[in-house]
Amino acid sequence: MTTSSDRRVVADARRIVVKVGSSSISGDNAWQIAPLVLALAQAHRRGVQIVLVSSGAIATGMPFLQLESRPNDLATQQAAAAVGQSVLVHRYQAALDPYAIVAAQVLLTAGDIENPTHRGNAQRAMERLLQLRILPIVNENDTVATQEIRFGDNDRLAALVARLIGADALILLSDVDALYTKPPQLPGAERIPHVALGDRLAGVEIAATSVNGVGTGGAQTKVSAARYAAEAGSAVIITSTTLVADALSGAPVGTFFEPARN
């Protein structure tokens, strides 16, 4: 069971990575960028260093290429990502302007973090951006990261970034408010409020894929990312984009993954 002291770890965190999925900030849900940015700005105002890992480049670019569904061929995925990334960052910056916060675009692949030289460069750049009170917006470099487009997900990237910068907390956002004992649309599904370090969630039925047509991750990728980040010492919350302000304030929402005491 989650206690108030558990959530204080997030409320008192000085460095937080927030990851938002494609379905939460593209298409009919593009309006959610504004409340998401408001929650980030409120945390930023109280001195928290925020890194946003945002999916959505391909989904955002699709309408500009007159595509009604996510493309299957690599070249069209890359084209949609190239168009959508600039549009997405522009939307974030427009939403950040009223709070006098400057965004920085950081495009990475999992390979960049695995390569010692690239990893060191990325780490130094983000450390300096945070020192300068800039808000890094991280996404996979979809125009070149062929394997990441096909098989990767930004939940994993967010966990890698949290570990890279030594984040106190990681918040994984989607269109589902928490982790459940089975897919939440099924009868008898119960919210899991707390996952102890090392808990293998025996008996829990975890969906392997996203249920929407634009994202690539599901509950399984979030659980895997949450475990990875928690083992590295970051407290993790899985919740919905609409509850991000509550999550950042330490309210008992979503599913809390207990961090290792490094």
Token digits of residue 122: 């990325």
For residue 203, what pLDDT is reported?
A: 79
For residue 37, what pLDDT is reported?
A: 98
CA distance 137 to 197: 29
Q: Is residue 78 part of a domain?
A: yes
For residue 148, what pLDDT is reported?
A: 46
Q: Pairing state of beta strands 235-240 and 255-257? A: antiparallel
Q: Is residue 97 part of a domain?
A: yes
For the segment 140-156, what is each residue's pLDDT rounded down to a tens digit? 888 886 654 444 688 99
On whether 19 is known to bind a ligand per the annotation, the reply is yes
As a whole number, mean pLDDT of residues 105-118 equals 88
What is the overall mean pLDDT for the chain? 90
Q: How many domains in the chain?
A: 1
CA distance 228 to 159: 7
Within 10 angstroms of residue 5's Cβ, the number of other Cβ atoms is 8
Where does the pLDDT of residue 205 fall: very low under 50, low under 70, confident under 90, or very high at 90 and above?
confident
For residue 260, what pLDDT is reported?
A: 95
On whether 175 is known to bind a ligand per the annotation, the reply is yes
On whether 26 is known to bind a ligand per the annotation, the reply is no
Q: Is residue 200 part of a domain?
A: yes
Cβ contact 220:229 at 8 Å: no
Question: What is this structure's pTM?
Answer: 0.93
Sign of CA dihedral 241, 44, 6, 160: positive
CA distance 66 to 124: 39
Q: Is residue 191 part of a domain?
A: yes
In Å, what is the CA distance from 16 to each residue of 9, 13, 22, 136, 200? 11, 7, 20, 11, 25
On whether 174 is known to bind a ligand per the annotation, the reply is yes
Better pLDDT: 150 or 200: 200
Q: Look at phi and psi of residue 228 and say left if phi exceeds 0, alpha if psi is from -120 to 50, else beta.
A: alpha
DSSP H/E element including 224: helix 219-231
Share of residues in the chain with pLDDT > 70 (%): 91
Where does the pLDDT of residue 5 fall: very low under 50, low under 70, confident under 90, or very high at 90 and above?
low
On whether 222 is known to bind a ligand per the annotation, the reply is no
Give the range of the structural domain holding residue 121, as residue numbers without chain letter.
Answer: 4-257
DSSP letter for 9, please: H
The interaxial angle of helices 219-231 and 154-165, nearest 10 deg, is: 10
For residue 153, what pLDDT is reported?
A: 80
Sign of CA dihedral 179, 197, 215, 58: positive
Q: Is residue 214 part of a domain?
A: yes
Token digits of residue 94: 């427009």
CATH number of 242's domain: 3.40.1160.10
On whether 212 is known to bind a ligand per the annotation, the reply is no
Q: Is residue 159 part of a domain?
A: yes
For residue 151, what pLDDT is reported?
A: 41
Q: Is residue 262 part of a domain?
A: no
Q: Is residue 161 part of a domain?
A: yes
